[in-house]
Structure 1
Amino acid sequence: MPPTAAPSTAARAATSRQMQVDASGLSGEGGYEPPFRVTPEIVRHVADIGEAMGRIESEGGENVRPALRRANRIRTVQSTVEIEGNTLGVEEVAAVLDGRRVRAPPRDLLEVRNAFAAYEAMPDWMSHSVADLLRAHQIMMDGLIEAPGRFRTGGAVVAGPEGVVHIAPPASRVESLMSALLGWLEETDEHPLIASSVFHFEFEFIHPFADGNGRMGRLWQTLILARWKPLFAALPVESMIRDHRAGYYEALRESGRAGESTGFVEYALRMIREVVLEHVRTEQVTEQVTEQVRRLLAVMDDSALSARELMSRLQLTHRPNFLYNYLRPALRHGFIAMTRPDAPRAHNQRYRLTPSGRHRAAAPG
């Protein structure tokens, strides 16, 4: 929507938030503290994630198997670009990254290659470095915009169905705003789970680049988390956000209206918690996949199949047996995925193998 559109209530709230930023000294002069509250929900999520991470580490689960690490990286890349409108599915992304020919719009192919390169380069970056942030943007948006790796030089407006939802700070302030925010990130005593989520919201509020802000915000939160626990470099938090993208945008809007990131922090921690618990569940069954799940994976191929088609291939007639012993365990552990995760009971629901499911199906035993 063009900048001339009338600002919504959310945009006016964002303008109020901008006044808070101006008054707080975010120019870098003195310490800046992004406004947020640590709520009971935030405390619960941090405790749950910490407990799960401790269990993973005590069982040696922080050393992710190469096949699962690769599958998760594919999920991460596919999810973060799909959120921004990319049309490639998981299988197509895997094919692109394997160097196979894929028929798709050139921009979509380039977005995938760039995002993969950016995530692969993460170990080389410091989360509080302005220079590294710009280098990451250069990789993420190379060939996609006119000046990748540079802060925007013009205004930025975010529009939604209801009109303008956010008017970003003027370009003249972006460099000082980002320097101050990264400085806060380096010095803060907040738990990394909280700090990474606060940073993500503040980054999207500043909207420092002409394009690619969503991808960069998600990438940088993953980097912050990976600096705390390296396992996060292999966990597809972005895929959980993709599956709950309406909540993602709503949390950004609500925090903008409130003038603080509390609501977004709660949302982000819910997503992180679910991804960590999914990893725990996946690791628990990787070596002890039931015979029923093995049979299900064995009859699947690259096509998306309905429950009826799968039952036919398995020669099953009792639907509850199929649901509880075959389909749901395979879904729960990430070996198959719904084509319509937003509508689990849709009449046209189909199921497809995930990269980890394909790897499991090919594994002996």
Structure 2
Amino acid sequence: MILSKMKPPYTITENILALVASISEKIGEINATHLYRPATELRKKNRIKTIQSSLEIEGNTLTEEQITALLENKRVIAPQKDILEVQNAIKVYELLNKFNPFQLKDLEKAHEILMSGLIDNAGKLRTTNVGIVKGSKVEHIAPSGTMVNGLMKDLFDYLKKDNDLVLIKSCVFHYEFEFIHPFLDGNGRMGRLWQTLILMQQYPVFEFLPVELLIKEKQSDYYNKLSESDKKGNSTPFIEFMLKIILESLDGLLQSQSVTLHTEDRIHLFKEKIGKNTFSRKDYMQHFKNISAPTASRDLKWAVEQNLLAKFGELRLTEYQFK
């Protein structure tokens, strides 16, 4: 019997539709208030939280302070394995924009960096059989090693070709990835990383959203939902769980970010929008409706001094262009 390629099994429930609608609304709010690229300091903090949370779930002992120190090339006293895990994770997150989430070879490349020096066959799909043990009982028997390559190809086909919303597909991918367990080690952190990468393609804000922090706080629910989905033979319970987590992390961003953007943040955001077109101070103020004329003038003067902007004309006729 030849098995035809099947779409991973799941049902779009009313709960899933309601969560997707709320998430879309939040993303609209985030875009309207220019939070899709949070202020530089917050981006750094969130990345540290993401790395710390994702690795703590896997038993890493380093704190946010120690990870910050490693980012600044300072010496940290901790188990060598934990330090290496963090250093590898920092490298992978720095390269996040270079990976194509729809290519299996990019996933293998990311795994190779993430697990370099930690396991022998980093970046190689497993060919042997594995069972996942939690405590003293076997939690999950993964598909046999001979099936892994085919299953991963099917999963990437689904990711590339299926018409479902990216929000849903990213959750399905995360669950199916954990179910297949394609590597001998590092599957948990890779599944979480790859879901972020898939979401980033459509919603840039996910690059700087510490979704992992909330997963860490609800770690037992996370494993329970993976296991519930295993028992039901579909990823619906896990999709609902992950969409709730995504919604909560967007909420958190909106609450923490009532702080105003700084000059540099506004200038970079405007550059992304306007590109090489010339513009006036009035155009700039229309984009940032909550700043005064003197603030807009100060922003533009700063950008000219930093050699980011060229300035033409005088007084009311002044125009600007990014270099």
The TM-score with structure 2 as length reference comes to 0.79
Residues 1:187 and 2:161 are matched in the alignment: yes
Question: 1:96 is matched with which residue?
Answer: 70
Residues 1:159 and 2:133 are matched in the alignment: yes
8 Å CA contact 1:152, 1:208 repeated in 2: yes
Question: 2:99 is matched with which residue?
Answer: 125
Q: Secondary structure of 2:38's match?
A: coil
Structure-to-structure mapping, 1:22-101, within 5 angstroms: 25=3, 30-101=4-75
- CA deviation map 1:90-143 (0-9, x unaligned): 111111111111110000000001111111111111111011010000010000
Q: Secondary structure of 1:284's match?
A: coil
Q: CA deviation at 1:41?
A: 1.4
Q: Secondary structure of 1:158's match?
A: strand
Letter in 2 for 1:176: G
Q: CA deviation at 1:153?
A: 2.3
Structure-to-structure mapping, 1:319-358, within 5 angstroms: none
Instruction: Write out the 4+ residue segments of structure 1 that deviate beyond 6 Å after TM superposition.
Output: none
Give the aligned CA root-mean-square deviation in angstroms. Answer: 1.6
Q: 2:208 aligns with which of 234, 242, 246?
A: 234
Question: 1:273 is matched with which residue?
Answer: 247
8 Å CA contact 1:32, 1:181 repeated in 2: no
8 Å CA contact 1:95, 1:101 repeated in 2: yes
Q: 1:216 to 1:43 in 2, by over 3 A?
A: same
Residues 1:258 and 2:232 are matched in the alignment: yes
Q: 1:162 to 1:41 in 2, by over 3 A?
A: farther
Question: 1:290 is matched with which residue?
Answer: none
- CA deviation map 1:274-295 (0-9, x unaligned): 00010001111467xxxxxxxx
Measured in 1, the distance between the counterparts of 2:83 and 2:258 equals 35
8 Å CA contact 1:130, 1:179 repeated in 2: yes
Measured in 1, the distance between the counterparts of 2:83 and 2:52 equals 11
Letter in 2 for 1:278: G
Which one is further off, 158-167 or 226-235?
158-167
Q: CA deviation at 1:63?
A: 2.1
8 Å CA contact 1:38, 1:262 repeated in 2: yes
Measured in 2, the distance between the counterparts of 1:166 and 1:286 equals 47
8 Å CA contact 1:159, 1:166 repeated in 2: yes
8 Å CA contact 1:45, 1:269 repeated in 2: yes
Q: Secondary structure of 2:51's match?
A: helix
8 Å CA contact 1:125, 1:132 repeated in 2: yes
Measured in 1, the distance between the counterparts of 2:32 and 2:136 equals 48
Question: 1:144 is matched with which residue?
Answer: 118
Question: 2:85 is matched with which residue?
Answer: 111
For this pair of structures, how many residues does the alignment match? 262
Measured in 2, the distance between the counterparts of 1:247 and 1:253 equals 10
Q: Secondary structure of 1:165's match?
A: strand
Q: 1:169 aligns with which of 119, 122, 143?
A: 143
Q: CA deviation at 1:24?
A: 8.8
Question: 2:269 is matched with which residue?
Answer: none
- CA deviation map 1:204-253 (0-9, x unaligned): 00000000000000000000000111110111111110111111000100
Gaps of 5+ in 1: 1-22, 288-365
Q: 1:124 to 1:284 in 2, by over 3 A?
A: same
Q: 1:286 to 1:82 in 2, by over 3 A?
A: farther
The TM-score with structure 1 as length reference comes to 0.70
